[in-house]
Amino acid sequence: MKSRIIRIMVCLMAVMTLCLTACSHDTKPQQPKAQQTAKTVKQPAKKAQPQPMYIYMYRYDNFPVAQAQALCSELEKVYPHVHLVSSALPLPAKEYYKQGNRYRARGLVEDLFPYRHGGVALGMTTQIVYNPNEISPYWGIFGFSLVGHHSAVISSMVPKTHKRQPPEDMRKLMLHELGHAFGLYHCNDPHCFMVDFEHGNKFSQTPSFCNDCKRFLNSKGWKL
Ligand SMILES: [Zn+2]
Ligand SMILES: [Zn+2]
């Protein structure tokens, strides 16, 4: 009788051991799910504050310092980050068209690309600049820019008359070309700075940017 009880107990213990062994895997504590995922979820990177985009103004050769300073002051009224570079840049000889005594505007704008320094480069010259059109391959123009490429050139010489641009026209020309440099195309509003001059002079009919152009430029940091 005693040995029978012992045998039953041994059997019971064996069953219990089996059960414990069998259950031990299931009862192994699991890492809480939240903890598991916390390891794999990356913390969102802190948003870097966008650096203000500077407009760097460059005088070519003998462009008068006083006139550059006056333009710089006008520009600062509508755009807060302007830097007038003190030393003058030489006009690149490779852009010179000797027979017409003028410089290739597109070439000047492209040559300014390394001078943007993450901002916008504006070159100012007293020389005539040209851009080919259907009338002439050396058509004299007031200024030039490639839309959205952050580089522009303006000239203080009126090609037809060889006279200097009046200060107010020069200011409007600067804002027109910078408008292109920041990404604006020509505007259909005949009273907007961004109107297409169509080989003429429309400074007198353009008192400001239109509301659409203002909105666009303000989204780029302008204060219009
Ligand atoms: Zn234009
Ligand atoms: Zn407009």
Starting at the edge strand found earlier in the chain, the sheet holding 96-97 runs 96-97, 102-104, 129-130, 140-141
What is the total count of domains within the chain? Answer: 1
CATH of the domain at 185: 3.40.390.10
Structure tokens at 127: 């020389």
Ligand at shortest distance from the CA of 141: 1
Ligand at shortest distance from the CA of 189: 2
In a domain, 145, yes or no: yes
Helix (H) or strand (E) holding 19: helix 2-27
Distance 189 CA to ligand 2 centre (A): 6
pTM given for the model: 0.78
Please choose, from the candidates 106, 103, 148, 144, the residue with its C-alpha nearest in 3D space to the C-alpha of residue 127.
103
Distance 31 CA to ligand 1 centre (A): 65
For residue range 181-206, list pLDDT tens digits in order. Answer: 999 999 999 999 999 988 888 999 99
Distance 43 CA to ligand 2 centre (A): 43
* Res 25: pLDDT: 36
> Could you list the residue range(s) of the whole structural domain that residue 104 is in?
55-218
Q: What is the band of 88 on the pLDDT scale with cuts at 50, 70, 90?
A: very high
